[in-house]
Chain A
Amino acid sequence: MNYETVIGLEVHAELSTKTKIFCDCTTEFGGEVNTHCCPICTGMPGVLPVLNKKVVDYAIKAGLATNCEITEFGKQDRKNYFYPDLPKAYQISQYDLPVCKNGYIDIEVNGQKKRIGITRIHIEEDAGKLMHDEWGTGSLIDYNRCGVPLIEIVTEPDMRTPEEAKVFLETLKSILQYIDVSDCKMQEGSLRCDINLSVKPVGQKEFGVRTEMKNVNSFRAAVRAMEYEAKRQIEIVESGKQVEQETRRWDDVKGVSYAMRNKEEAHDYRYFPEPDLVPIVINKEWIEEIRKTLPELPNAKKERYIKQYQLPEYDAAIITSSRTLAQFFEECVESGANPKIVSNWFMGDLMRILKDNNLEPEEIPFPGQYIAKLLALIEKGTISGSIAKKVLEVMFDEAKDPEIIVKEKGLIQISDESQLVEIAKKVIEDNPQSVADYKGGKEKALGFLVGQCMKATKGKANPQMLNNLLKEMLNK
């Protein structure tokens, strides 16, 4: 029998507000343990939360970017449970009146467009971090992350393959980065997801029993966890047994998931309205104010690149998938570079260097204008294309203006004809066999001779001029 996977996601994104959700502490990542906290975020007796309005701004923005309705009269609720990383023993979250609901995101998988429903987006606070056993005597707690604002984005069970879920996550990440509400750095834990997954025979309407998978910390891990879980459930169903409704924990190192002990998951969170906070009342003006700050979103940008710059759809999709990359692209184009040539450089050398060095677009150490300058150097004949590739590498290493690199490293192309004639003469003298081959009709030999000239000039000779010169001299 053929099975279909049904996937819904709960994505937590840390918001990039400067301060925490209920106090003035910084949200900066990586501070000394317990230095980014105060009596409020560590839940001392008698302290009170005051909602950071920016958090609501960001949630509204995320809602608008994912086509959600914005709740006019929202509230916050307490989710009660005991754990040492949660100093108040309750998390302030939203239960039945989240800031946003009923939205969607359009994704594209293998050329097929698909709409994924967003059930809700709510705001809540992050917890601290437990450090176990480092000293062998117990656990220590770092409260720096306590009270860092999060949005939780809950999808409808609309995805049918791990691939769809992955594309959804990538698209969502790209949207959140575009609207500048989260940096979505998975390695710093600012984007995390829980996976709800069930399987059913293809064609069957009712969903199977679902499990919830926690502790998924990268897109790659998400795909692996989903593939593993789908396979596990299908095996259970095939063997005639029932899938247990349970919470499972993904172990990415071992590549397996295991059921969490009942104690860990059997929570009655006893939600009730947070009495220390007032309702979140969002009027039309507020929503419109935020709408004005929305940038062009990735899908719209992609369509525009295709129309305005005649980029191939694939290239446009890649470049617009990252807000930084798209910005970089636009900086190049605004500095006068030809969009198609820029796009080719992006798709080729730029992407390769990023991939080889495991860099994110945010980590490109120079501004977009430098690429435009580099391309102008090629166009003016100052350097050759192959030298330009080398210059680009140096730009990544030294973050310098390509014009300066070319000057400093003496990479300016030799376009002086008399100089080139001297070089060509020497190469012709040194390679009689190739000259003979060429004269005997072997066109390829010309390429070899050009190559020898380039080698002699360390690649600086103007290849077009050389080509013409050599032909002229050999045909004499």
Chain B
Amino acid sequence: MELYQLTAHALRDLLRKKEISSIELTKSILDRINLTDPQIQSYLTVMHEQALNNAQEIDKRMSAGEQLGDLAGIPMALKDNICTEGILTTCASKMLHNFKPPYDATVVKKLKKEGTVLVGKLNMDEFAMGSSTENSYFKQTKNPYDLDRVPGGSSGASAAAVAADEAIFTLGSDTGGSIRQPAAFCGVVGMKPTYGTVSRFGLVAFASSLDQIGPLTKDVTDCALVLNAITGHDPMDSTSLNIKYPDYTKALVNNVKGLKIGVPKEYMGEGINAEIRHSVLNALEILKSLGAEYEEFSLPLTEYALPAYYLISSAEASSNLARYDGIKYGYRTGQFKDLLDLYKKTRSEGFGTEVKRRIMLGTYALSSGYYDAYYKKAQQVRTLIKKSFDDAFSRYDVIITPTTPTTAFKIGEKSKDPLEMYAADICTVSLNIAGLPGLVIPCGLDSKGLPIGMQLIGKAFDEATLLRTAYTFEQNTEYHKIRPNL
């Protein structure tokens, strides 16, 4: 096995035993990127030199006996909407094609402190709006399982890079499923933590009340390691919760005896591809055989989650993206008559179609006369959806659903019809609306050989139960070992 194929925890052990060095490992990843990324197209920026210098420094510190974190020396990459000091952070938009933040996001500070090696920045749907990474201004990332298919989105490249062994782990962001859906499409583990668990400082905002940063990894153990590194209260983020965060590796226990699993029938209906339904049921049977119980139940209001999500996220986005006006940084139009003309041209030329669509949708939803009918109503739905989850969690420890209605679709297949594209988020958006944690793990392949992901939903701040359930599943199955043929 090559070094780039290993998990972070396996590599940690090798690094600690001094059997390998971070520089060897980083070289292995950089070589892999050179080899496969011309096909996969995950990276927007690769930092060859910086990564190697960084790895060398970590090696020195390790051999000097310095105690570093579990992820010390591990090469990783970040979605390009996570700010990195002095390194391009484009959000895959023409608008920020030249933007180098003068600051690190809090998660970046934390990962630096941990001693990880940043190898580059990853492609995405422009400003995280999309489900296929087709909305990038720069390039189309491919699904490593089938290069004609999308990797999902918006953190499509964060999932593809892990699946293609171009990074040991990555960070993505999830506003309506943007970590979980690509994790499912690319057959990797992806977690959207509870809202408020990971600082949003330095995450370029799409929808502030929904955005959350999370890890994409090769297995559940790595997921716990990355969570340990990135969670925690941040005084720079008012929505970050000041609570005691657990050691997530403590949750890696191979035991689900007595675990109560709820399966909402609204997520298992006609709209879901039969192979996916079958795969999830199979996974539930496996968990049952390991001592868990599951039953179907009804989670009301599910049908309203999608429209509520699109209203709230677009409304917030219309305001969050208003700052890109050509005045302070990023793209500015060449010729303009006056201030209004500068605004119009800069924004018309700098944003892609989908971003403009959402800005218009959100601006409309917040307009006077429509606010009550749209934004306010959506917030009311939000409260009710939260409540219906609360009710469900009074009976169940975990809720399990499919992650997506279909497996990875073909590039171009849905990009003509935004509504069809939006419908792909049906299984994932409710969690963002309710602020709940969601963990996606691979649970098989469909007949086309494309990965299927199962979504585990937990109570707020109960990532531990999700990790334990997923870990148990992983310990007793081989799905997580499936790799694409590249």
> Is there an interface contact between B323 and A275, defined as CB atoms closer than 8 Å?
no
Q: Which of B305-335 contact A (CB under 8 A)?
A: 315-316, 318-319, 322-323, 325, 327-329
Bound CA span A80–B319, Å: 7
In-complex Cβ contact of B201 among A46, A90, A277 (8 A): A46
> Is there an interface contact between A80 and B204, defined as CB atoms closer than 8 Å?
no
> Is there an interface contact between B238 and A276, defined as CB atoms closer than 8 Å?
yes
Bound CA span A90–B323, Å: 8
Q: Which residues of A contact B327 (CB under 8 A)?
A: 84, 87, 141
Q: What mask results when residues 229 to 271 of chain B are scored 1 for a CB within 8 Å of chain A, else 0?
A: 0000001111100000000000000000000000000000000
* B366 in contact (CB, < 8 A): yes
Total A residues in contact with B, Cβ cutoff 8 Å: 28
* A43 in contact (CB, < 8 A): yes
* A272 in contact (CB, < 8 A): yes
Q: What mask results when residues 259 to 291 of chain B are scored 1 for a CB within 8 Å of chain A, else 0?
A: 000000000000000000000000000000000
Q: Which residues of A contact B318 (CB under 8 A)?
A: 80, 270
> Is there an interface contact between B202 and A47, defined as CB atoms closer than 8 Å?
yes
Q: Which residues of B contact A50 (CB under 8 A)?
A: 235-238
Most interface-central of A43, A44, A271, A278 (chain B CB within 10 A): A44
Chain A, residue nearest B103 (CB): A39
* B367 in contact (CB, < 8 A): yes
> Is there an interface contact between B237 and A48, defined as CB atoms closer than 8 Å?
yes
Chain A, residue nearest B209 (CB): A275
A93 to nearest B CB, angstroms? 13
> Is there an interface contact between A45 and B89, defined as CB atoms closer than 8 Å?
yes
B243 to nearest A CB, angstroms? 14
* A309 in contact (CB, < 8 A): no
Bound CA span A46–B366, Å: 22
Chain B interface mostly: loop
In-complex Cβ contact of B208 among A44, A270, A276 (8 A): A276
Total B residues in contact with A, Cβ cutoff 8 Å: 43
In-complex Cβ contact of A44 among B102, B209, B239 (8 A): B102
Bound CA span A271–B343, Å: 21
Q: Which residues of A contact B103 (CB under 8 A)?
A: 39, 44, 47
A35 to nearest B CB, angstroms? 15
Q: A46-B201, A276-B208 are in contact. Are A268 and B238 (CB under 8 A)?
A: no
B332 to nearest A CB, angstroms? 12
In-complex Cβ contact of A48 among B96, B236, B319, B368 (8 A): B236
In-complex Cβ contact of B238 among A42, A45, A270, A277 (8 A): A277
* B479 in contact (CB, < 8 A): no
In-complex Cβ contact of A45 among B101, B237, B325, B343 (8 A): B101
Chain A, residue nearest B375 (CB): A272
Q: Which residues of A contact B202 (CB under 8 A)?
A: 46-47
Q: Which residues of A contact B363 (CB under 8 A)?
A: 270
Q: A39-B101, A39-B103 are in contact. Are A78 and B319 (CB under 8 A)?
A: yes
Bound CA span A381–B200, Å: 73
A137 to nearest B CB, angstroms? 14
B325 to nearest A CB, angstroms? 6
In-complex Cβ contact of A276 among B83, B239, B366 (8 A): B239
Most interface-central of A45, A47, A49 (chain B CB within 10 A): A45
Bound CA span A275–B339, Å: 29
> Is there an interface contact between B316 and A48, defined as CB atoms closer than 8 Å?
no
Q: A87-B323, A87-B328, A88-B322 are in contact. Are A270 and B101 (CB under 8 A)?
A: no
Bound CA span A346–B375, Å: 60
> Is there an interface contact between B201 and A275, defined as CB atoms closer than 8 Å?
no
* A109 in contact (CB, < 8 A): no
* A51 in contact (CB, < 8 A): yes
Q: What mask results when residues 255 to 291 of chain A are scored 1 for a CB within 8 Å of chain B, else 0?
A: 0000000000000101110011110000000000000
Chain A interface mostly: loop
In-complex Cβ contact of B83 among A46, A84, A275 (8 A): A46
Q: A84-B327, A89-B325, A275-B208 are in contact. Are A46 and B238 (CB under 8 A)?
A: no
Bound CA span A84–B332, Å: 13
> Is there an interface contact between A270 and B319, defined as CB atoms closer than 8 Å?
yes
Bound CA span A20–B319, Å: 22
A282 to nearest B CB, angstroms? 16
Q: Which residues of A contact B315 (CB under 8 A)?
A: 272
B298 to nearest A CB, angstroms? 30
> Is there an interface contact between A90 and B319, defined as CB atoms closer than 8 Å?
yes
> Is there an interface contact between A80 and B322, defined as CB atoms closer than 8 Å?
yes
> Is there an interface contact between A272 and B319, defined as CB atoms closer than 8 Å?
yes
* A29 in contact (CB, < 8 A): no
Q: Which residues of A contact B209 (CB under 8 A)?
A: 275
Q: Which residues of A contact B319 (CB under 8 A)?
A: 78, 80, 89-90, 270, 272
* A82 in contact (CB, < 8 A): yes
Q: Which of A313-360 contact B (CB under 8 A)?
A: none
> Is there an interface contact between A270 and B368, defined as CB atoms closer than 8 Å?
yes
Chain A, residue nearest B379 (CB): A273
> Is there an interface contact between A278 and B101, defined as CB atoms closer than 8 Å?
no
* B159 in contact (CB, < 8 A): no
Q: Which of A341-395 contact B (CB under 8 A)?
A: none
B47 to nearest A CB, angstroms? 19
A74 to nearest B CB, angstroms? 14
In-complex Cβ contact of B366 among A84, A88, A270 (8 A): A270
Bound CA span A268–B371, Å: 11
Bound CA span A43–B321, Å: 11
A273 to nearest B CB, angstroms? 8
* B408 in contact (CB, < 8 A): no
Chain A, residue nearest B364 (CB): A270
Q: Which of A394-408 contact B (CB under 8 A)?
A: none
Most interface-central of A44, A48, A89 (chain B CB within 10 A): A48
In-complex Cβ contact of A84 among B237, B339, B371 (8 A): B339
* B99 in contact (CB, < 8 A): yes
Q: Which residues of B contact A78 (CB under 8 A)?
A: 319
Bound CA span A141–B375, Å: 34
Q: A84-B339, A275-B316 are in contact. Are A45 and B83 (CB under 8 A)?
A: yes
A124 to nearest B CB, angstroms? 16
Most interface-central of A39, A90, A272 (chain B CB within 10 A): A272
Q: What mask results when residues 180 to 198 of chain A are scored 1 for a CB within 8 Å of chain B, else 0?
A: 0000000000000000000
> Is there an interface contact between A44 and B329, defined as CB atoms closer than 8 Å?
yes
Q: What mask results when residues 157 to 199 of chain B are scored 1 for a CB within 8 Å of chain A, else 0?
A: 0000000000000000000000000000000000000000000
> Is there an interface contact between A80 and B102, defined as CB atoms closer than 8 Å?
no
> Is there an interface contact between A45 and B204, defined as CB atoms closer than 8 Å?
yes
* B225 in contact (CB, < 8 A): no
Q: What mask results when residues 332 to 345 of chain B are scored 1 for a CB within 8 Å of chain A, else 0?
A: 00000001000100
Q: Which residues of A contact B203 (CB under 8 A)?
A: 46
A240 to nearest B CB, angstroms? 33
Chain A, residue nearest B205 (CB): A46
Q: A78-B319, A272-B375 are in contact. Are A49 and B368 (CB under 8 A)?
A: no
Bound CA span A49–B235, Å: 10
In-complex Cβ contact of A51 among B238, B328, B339 (8 A): B238
> Is there an interface contact between A272 and B366, defined as CB atoms closer than 8 Å?
yes
Q: Which residues of B contact A90 (CB under 8 A)?
A: 319, 322
Q: Which residues of B contact A51 (CB under 8 A)?
A: 238
Q: Which residues of B contact A43 (CB under 8 A)?
A: 323, 328
* B91 in contact (CB, < 8 A): yes
Bound CA span A50–B363, Å: 25
Bound CA span A22–B101, Å: 19
Q: Which residues of B contact A271 (CB under 8 A)?
A: 366
Q: Which residues of B contact A88 (CB under 8 A)?
A: 322-323
Chain B, residue nearest A45 (CB): B204
> Is there an interface contact between B105 and A46, defined as CB atoms closer than 8 Å?
yes
Chain A, residue nearest B196 (CB): A278
Q: Which of A31-46 contact B (CB under 8 A)?
A: 39, 42-46
Additional A-B contacts beyond A45-B101, A45-B204, A88-B323 (5; CB < 8 A): A80-B318, A84-B325, A141-B327, A268-B367, A276-B238
Some 9 contacts from A to B, beta carbons below 8 A apart, are A43-B328, A45-B99, A45-B323, A50-B238, A80-B318, A84-B325, A89-B323, A272-B371, A278-B239
Which 10 pairs across A and B sit closest by C-beta, in order of nearness? A89-B322, A275-B208, A275-B209, A270-B366, A45-B204, A46-B204, A46-B83, A46-B202, A43-B323, A88-B323
